[in-house]
Amino acid sequence: MDSSGPDTSLEPTAAAFAAMLDGVGHGVVAVDRQWRLSFVNAWMERILGRSRQQLLGRELWTEFPSLRTSSFGDVYQRAMRDGVEVVHEDFVDTSNAWFEARASPSATGLILFIRDVTERRRAAQDLKDREDRLRESEARFRNMADNAPVMLWMTDETGACIWLNRQWYDFTGQTEEQARGLGWLEAVHPEDRVRAGDIFLASNAGRTAFRLEYRIRSRHGEYRWAIDSASPRLDSSGEFLGYIGSVIDIHELKRGEERLAFVSEASRVLSESLDYEATLSRTTELAVPALGDWCMVDILQEGGGIKRVKVVCADPALEPQVRETVNFPPVVSGGASHLPSQALREGRALLVEDAGDAYKQQAAYSPEHLAHMRAIGFQSVMSVPLVARGRRLGVITFLAIHPGRRFTQSDLETAEELARRAALAVDNGRLYHEAQQAVRVREEFLQVASHELKTPLTPLSLKLQMLARSADSLPRERFPRLSSDLEMMRQQVHRLSSLMDELLDISRINSGRFSLTLEVVDLCALVRDSASRFEPEVHRLGGRLVVDVPEPLVGVWDRQRLEQVMTNLLSNALKYGGGRPVRVRVWGEGNTACLEVRDEGIGIAPEALPRIFEKFERAVSDRHYGGLGLGLYITRQIVEALGGTIRAESELARGSAFTVKLPLMPPASAS
Ligand code: ADP
């Protein structure tokens, strides 16, 4: 306690200062010019682990020898020497902490302010580490993005493009300046641009994910189909930042789909008709521009020549070249590198991806030909032979004229697929044509032959009748077998005559010369008449013919043809009737006359039933039953010409029933 009494001055005493400095959250140390410690605050005592009593008056360097060689020592000495304030920060291993020291010169020496800045340093370090990591991850992302096999992009919240990966620039040839903002749309096909832009901007307003397809121009000027899928970018609080999207080249996929559709459409067209020139013509039209900008077909002719049957070109400006190209068909000799000639010669598909002037010079077989090819100005060509059943029929050639269009191996495969189908169609057409020709020849022959064969039968039959009459006057005992032999001969001539009639009818039906002579006919009388003509045969076979016909049933029909129907059905019933009874029934149903011929004979197998009304179809073996298989075919033709129907019901070994239904008045077409 001071004897002069309590200190009442407003100036704080050194002790009060010291107490104040003890309260601060950092170290305060004072040294005199001889580096003797004159003040150490409580914070510093804690840090140094030494008390004020131990330190005051002692030399700094002696007490803390390691300080002299530390960075702090240098700084303190500089501050003392130069009389300037120096601030320094360093890590102190012994404290495992960062300290900041401010050395301020004072009147008596130096005052050192020391702060533990470990927290701040760590926070700064953390920030730096985080930044480094971010930079590193961004570099990694960019590297990844640039090497990804797709084009990637990013927009800001306004929809402006702010980043695109290297793939985009490599593919489109755009620069960063060109692509940014909405500049990327310049690389989109003009026909797709408005649609793509609209979807893009609408999605941006709605902030929804989207997908769009468009064609994108490559740096070579070629447009390729791409699919662009985008998702909104959101920050951690869900705030919309823009979009991130990827653009994938789906050109091959799309072309594949188009090719498939094209080939299936072509197949449909090819199977539509058997006229092969018309079919080829339509296929060629289909192939342009799907498969090429120019398509032409050359067909080998019977005599060995080659005819350019069709040329189609997508560009009307090339009309003169289309017209003159008939002068430059494939050649058998010469034109060694001329693709259509070569493909035809070697029988294999060929492709020249780059058919520039060098190709044209090699391929040309005359100066005019060269000029012609140059005038068309194609850059790519492929030729595929038309081969069916090992036979070369011709060649189809495709040209790529459109700038940037080049044929690829997959184009060639599609062309081959098309050629395979086209060749089949050509072959079918030819076969059909040949078959038709053969049928015509046969019909003509049948007509002439049946006519010629029938001619001698009429006088022969007359002679037989006369002979039979003369034989009646001869004594039976001298010629016991004569009349039966003559009857047998008459039957055979009759049979031959019927067969000839059938053949003649067939040729009439085939040549469209089959006609009806309509008159009023009583079906019941007609049936009774026909049946009575069969009596001798029924008698001979030992069977029975039951005829059930009511009152007259009158209609307008062709009498002779109806007799023929009756004859055919009755003779079949007797022939296949196994000697058992045959029943004939006639009845009316409104405006329809019905006729049924039923037997109890061998019957018809179910699988044969549907075809017995066809030409030359038989359900029995030729060995057991003679016949041409024409009777029912002719019967059906007659019944249908009269506007009626014929139906057969049968069961094997049980018998058959044939039902004819005829309108009383035949349709107008019948006359
Ligand atoms: P075909 O000259 O062979 O008799 P059709 O055209 O008259 O020719 O008859 C065709 C085929 O239908 C015959 O070959 C025979 O197999 C079968 N068929 C026709 N009528 C009968 C029937 N009543 N009973 C059994 N089979 C029949």
Render 272-326 in DSSP notation, one character per residue.
H-S-HHHHHHHHHHHHHHHT-SEEEEEEE-TTS-EEEEEEEES-GGGHHHHHHGG
Would strands 151-155 and 161-164 be described as parallel, antiparallel, or unpaired? antiparallel
Say how far apart CA 280 and CA 425 lie, in whole Å. Answer: 8
Which ligand 1 atom is the nearest neighbour of the CA of 658?
23
Boundary of a domain, candidates 200, 221, 249: 249
Boundary of a domain, candidates 219, 249, 279: 249
Does the residue 26 lie in any domain?
A: yes
Clarify whether residues 218 and 285 are in a common domain. no
Query: CB of 292 closer than 6 A to ligand 1?
Result: no
Residue nearest to atom 16 of ligand 1 (CA): 619
Clarify whether residues 185 and 231 are in a common domain. yes
Say how far apart CA 488 and CA 494 lie, in whole Å. Answer: 10
Query: CB of 646 closer than 6 A to ligand 1?
Result: no
Query: CB of 613 closer than 6 A to ligand 1?
Result: no
Q: Please say if the pLDDT value at position 71 is more than 90.
A: yes
Does the residue 464 lie in any domain?
A: no
Q: How far is the CA of 575 from the centre of ligand 1 (A)?
A: 9
Torsion of CA 646, 650, 655, 658, to 10 degrees: -10
Average pLDDT over residues 444-471: 86
Q: Please say if the pLDDT value at position 268 is more than 50.
A: yes
Which ligand 1 atom is the nearest neighbour of the CA of 502?
2
Q: Which residue has the tokens 């990827």?
A: 246
- The pLDDT of residue 179: 94
- The pLDDT of residue 671: 66
Say how far apart CA 392 and CA 401 lie, in whole Å. Answer: 28
Instruction: Look at the alpha carbons of 180, 183, 189, 195 in this order and tell me if their dihedral is positive or negative.
Output: positive
Clarify whether residues 360 and 299 are in a common domain. yes
Q: Please say if the pLDDT value at position 582 is more than 60.
A: yes
- The pLDDT of residue 11: 61
Range with lowest mean pLDDT among 17-26, 46-55, 350-359, 544-553: 17-26
Query: CB of 635 closer than 6 A to ligand 1?
Result: no
Q: How far is the CA of 577 from the centre of ligand 1 (A)?
A: 11
Mean pLDDT in the chain? 90
H helices within 399-551, ranges in order? Answer: 409-454, 457-472, 482-510, 523-541
Please tell me what DSSP assigns to residue 5: -
Clarify whether residues 595 and 553 are in a common domain. yes
Ramachandran angles phi, psi of 352, nearest 5°: -120, 105
Q: Please say if the pLDDT value at position 653 is more than 60.
A: yes
Query: CB of 599 closer than 6 A to ligand 1?
Result: yes
N-term to C-term CA, the chain: 157
- The pLDDT of residue 9: 55
Query: CB of 602 closer than 6 A to ligand 1?
Result: yes
Say how far apart CA 478 and CA 179 lie, in whole Å. Answer: 123
Query: CB of 203 closer than 6 A to ligand 1?
Result: no
Does the residue 605 lie in any domain?
A: yes
| Band of pLDDT at residue 79, cut at 50, 70 and 90 | very high
| Band of pLDDT at residue 335, cut at 50, 70 and 90 | low
Q: Which residue has the tokens 């539509």?
A: 272
Q: Please say if the pLDDT value at position 334 is more than 80.
A: no
Tell me if residue 625 falls in helix, strand or coil: coil
Q: How far is the CA of 44 from the centre of ligand 1 (A)?
A: 131
Q: What is the pLDDT of residues 168-194, one digit of tens each?
A: 999 999 999 999 999 999 999 999 999
Structural domain count of the chain: 4
Would strands 582-589 and 545-548 be described as parallel, antiparallel, or unpaired? parallel
Q: Please say if the pLDDT value at position 320 is more than 80.
A: yes
Average pLDDT over residues 85-112: 93
- The pLDDT of residue 574: 93
Range with lowest mean pLDDT among 237-241, 352-356, 423-427: 423-427
Q: How far is the CA of 612 from the centre of ligand 1 (A)?
A: 7
Say how far apart CA 381 and CA 354 lie, in whole Å. Answer: 8
Average pLDDT over residues 346-361: 94
Helix (H) / strand (E) containing 205: helix 190-206
- The pLDDT of residue 1: 43
The residue whose CB lies within 8 Å of the most ligand 1 atoms, and thus the one to mutate among 564, 572, 633, is 572
Q: How far is the CA of 522 from the centre of ligand 1 (A)?
A: 27
Residues 249, 225: contact at Cβ < 8 Å? yes
Does the residue 131 lie in any domain?
A: no
Which ligand 1 atom is the nearest neighbour of the CA of 601?
24
Clarify whether residues 342 and 422 are in a common domain. yes
Clarify whether residues 284 and 156 are in a common domain. no
Query: CB of 573 closer than 6 A to ligand 1?
Result: yes
Residues 339, 397: contact at Cβ < 8 Å? yes
Which ligand 1 atom is the nearest neighbour of the CA of 599?
23
Q: How far is the CA of 656 from the centre of ligand 1 (A)?
A: 10
- The pLDDT of residue 98: 93
| Band of pLDDT at residue 476, cut at 50, 70 and 90 | confident
Cis peptide upstream of residue 663 (ω within 30 degrees of 0): no
Query: CB of 576 closer than 6 A to ligand 1?
Result: yes
Domain range enclosing 216: 148-249
Query: CB of 629 closer than 6 A to ligand 1?
Result: yes
b/e 280-300 (16+ beta carbons within 10 angstroms → b): bbbbbebbbbbbbbbbbbbbb
List the CATH number of the domain containing 367: 3.30.450.40
Say how far apart CA 422 and CA 269 lie, in whole Å. Answer: 10
The residue whose CB lies within 8 Å of the most ligand 1 atoms, and thus the one to mutate among 501, 534, 632, is 632
Q: Please say if the pLDDT value at position 110 is more than 90.
A: yes
The residue whose CB lies within 8 Å of the most ligand 1 atoms, and thus the one to mutate among 565, 567, 604, 622, is 604
Clarify whether residues 292 and 405 are in a common domain. yes
- 38-43 long-range contacts, Cβ below 8 Å, gap at least 24? 38/108, 38/109
- The pLDDT of residue 627: 84
Q: What is the pLDDT of residues 376-428, one digit of tens each?
A: 999 999 999 999 888 888 999 999 998 878 899 989 999 999 899 888 888 88
Q: Which residues contact 451 (CB under 8 A, 6 or more apart)?
A: 504
Q: How far is the CA of 304 from the centre of ligand 1 (A)?
A: 49
Residue nearest to atom 13 of ligand 1 (CA): 618
Clarify whether residues 297 and 178 are in a common domain. no
Q: How far is the CA of 181 from the centre of ligand 1 (A)?
A: 86
Clarify whether residues 101 and 185 are in a common domain. no
Smallest CA-to-CA distance from 378 within 410, 349, 402 is with: 402
Boundary of a domain, candidates 188, 215, 249: 249
Does the residue 65 lie in any domain?
A: yes
Does the residue 103 lie in any domain?
A: yes
The residue whose CB lies within 8 Å of the most ligand 1 atoms, and thus the one to mutate among 505, 570, 576, is 576
- The pLDDT of residue 173: 96
Query: CB of 620 closer than 6 A to ligand 1?
Result: yes
Percentage of the chain lying above the pLDDT 70 cut: 98
Q: How far is the CA of 603 from the centre of ligand 1 (A)?
A: 9
Q: How far is the CA of 633 from the centre of ligand 1 (A)?
A: 10
Does the residue 230 lie in any domain?
A: yes
Clarify whether residues 163 and 295 are in a common domain. no
Q: How far is the CA of 620 from the centre of ligand 1 (A)?
A: 7
Tell me if residue 87 falls in helix, strand or coil: strand
List the CATH number of the domain containing 161: 3.30.450.20
Residue nearest to atom 2 of ligand 1 (CA): 627
Please tell me what DSSP assigns to residue 608: T
The residue whose CB lies within 8 Å of the most ligand 1 atoms, and thus the one to mutate among 509, 575, 612, 646, is 612
Residues 124, 132: contact at Cβ < 8 Å? no
Residues 303, 319: contact at Cβ < 8 Å? no
Clarify whether residues 386 and 291 are in a common domain. yes
Residue nearest to atom 21 of ligand 1 (CA): 572
Q: What is the pLDDT of residues 128-150, one digit of tens each?
A: 999 999 999 888 988 888 888 89
Percentage of the chain lying above the pLDDT 90 cut: 57
Q: What is the pLDDT of residues 61-70, one digit of tens each?
A: 999 998 988 9
DSSP string for residues in 627-654 = --S-HHHHHHHHHHHTT-EEEEEEETTT
Does the residue 477 lie in any domain?
A: no
DSSP string for residues in 347-408 = TS-EEES---HHHHHHH-SSHHHHHHHHHHT-SEEEEEEEEETTEEEEEEEEEE-STT----
Q: How far is the CA of 534 from the centre of ligand 1 (A)?
A: 18
Query: CB of 634 closer than 6 A to ligand 1?
Result: no
Clarify whether residues 223 and 168 are in a common domain. yes
Residue nearest to atom 8 of ligand 1 (CA): 629
Q: How far is the CA of 573 from the centre of ligand 1 (A)?
A: 9
Query: CB of 223 closer than 6 A to ligand 1?
Result: no
Say how far apart CA 13 and CA 334 lie, in whole Å. Answer: 123
Full 3-state SS string of 126-146: HHHHHHHHHHHHHHHHHHHHH
